[in-house]
Amino acid sequence: MEPKVFSDVTVVAFSWAMVGPLTLKFLADYGATVIRVETRHRPCVTRISAPFKDGRAGLDRSGYFNHFSANMLSVSLNMAHPRGLELARELVGRADIVMENFTPGVMDRWGLGYEALQAIKPDIIMARQNGFGIDGPYRNLAAFGMVLAAIVGIPNFIGWPDRDPLPVGVSAYTDGIGPRFMAAALIAALELRDRTGRGQLLDLAQFETAIGFFLPAVLDRAANGREPQRSGNASGRAAPHNVYAGLGADRWCAVAALDDDQWRRLCEVIAAPERAVDPRFATLAQRKAHESEIDALIGSWVARLDPAEAMSRLQAAGVPAGVLQNAADLLADPQLAARGLFWPIEHPEMGRFTHLGSSISLSATPAQPRLPSPCLGEHNETVLTQLLGKSDEEFVELLTSGVLE
């Protein structure tokens, strides 16, 4: 079998929530040995978050945790126990990368800050993903989903001009952004280490990576002194630009026309060619001035169709359109199935469970499901006896002394 991209890389991860595990996926899915250090005393927030398989709660039954955690190992260490800290340091000695996304200060209190890790393994790469970074006045602020999204300013861009800002529906929004940046940084750090023998500290602030997704608004303020206005579904660069209800319960189709040619084609599809030559809709500016009339026109056409049929007709004519898919649609989507995004894997606690695969395709070394998401502490014996070389007697002693909890 072709060796995987990261098959010679070992990661020890003190990570919880989503930002750490989503970064780990980039490595684990391409062969890295990723060891998550966890504890029953304070389990990962995603392990105790719904939805649970069959509606039955359990540390190993959360769809939230398991969806994102294939190909990883779990070791349960009581970090309040001196032997737990000792084993953590031994794991560092076998690692290429140590990753953490706790509030700044936690790792240092355990004696696992960057300088301490360097003393254990001089070429170690430490990746820290905190809400605001490891320095600056915000460094100790809580970085939970909606709070961080608010400080980034995301709600100010969501909603309608005459209404209040709307919170982000998926609270861990920024957790899905940072991992893309950190994965690239880790690859660069590994390449430098392989050339020079030097490790380094990577400090990623989710606050900063998320702002990159709203730069036009920030730049407009800096250059022109303007604050962006909430615009609902509308866009200053397109008319129409909205979602329209079709046949079926809560079924919708998004439709946009970005230029005069797309508007003409749209009018032909909806059997209203006279609107294409109507002077009220001749330019984008004029269409924006009569947008409510356009929305009513398109809405009445979409309402008579299945949204997928509306999308198909419009796309065939070169008009941007798309069904608003729900979760069931995504799980059954033929495009995602053809690219193997979802991995059904047998899980020891939940049976056959759909894990998230990789959205990046490498032709020579594709990502593959090797392991289901781990039960908490599932790999204690494997890691301690095979990686750290503990004897069976030592392992039993650790197991019975409150260290592996």
Long-range contacts of 108-115 (CB under 8 A, 24+ apart): 110/79, 110/85, 111/85, 112/14, 112/85, 112/88, 114/201
For residue 269, the surrounding DSSP H or E stretch is: helix 260-269
Q: Please give the Cα distance from 273 to 297 (Å, whole number).
A: 12
Instruction: Name which of 252, 382, 363 is nearest 310 in CA terms.
Output: 252
According to DSSP, the β-strands at 252-256 and 241-245 are antiparallel
Instruction: Please list, in sequence order, all residues whose beta carbon lies within 8 angstroms of the beta carbon of residue 82, skipping any fewer than 6 positions away.
Output: none
- The distance between the two most distant Cα atoms of the chain, rounded to a whole number of Å, is 87
Rounded to 5 degrees, what angle do the CA atoms 331, 334, 336 make?
A: 60
Cβ–Cβ under 8 Å, residues 382 and 389: no
Instruction: Tell me the chain's radius of gyration from C-alpha atoms.
Output: 25
Q: Please give the Cα distance from 396 to 405 (Å, whole number).
A: 13
* Cis previous bond, 51, omega within 30: yes
Instruction: Select which of 164, 175, 203, 259 is catalytic.
Output: 175
Residue showing tokens 């990661």: 11
User: Distance between alpha carbon 234 and the CA centroid of its chain, in Å?
Assistant: 26
Rounded to 5 degrees, what angle do the CA atoms 55, 60, 65 make?
A: 85
Cβ–Cβ under 8 Å, residues 35 and 92: no
194 assigned to active site:
no
Give catalytic residue positions.
175
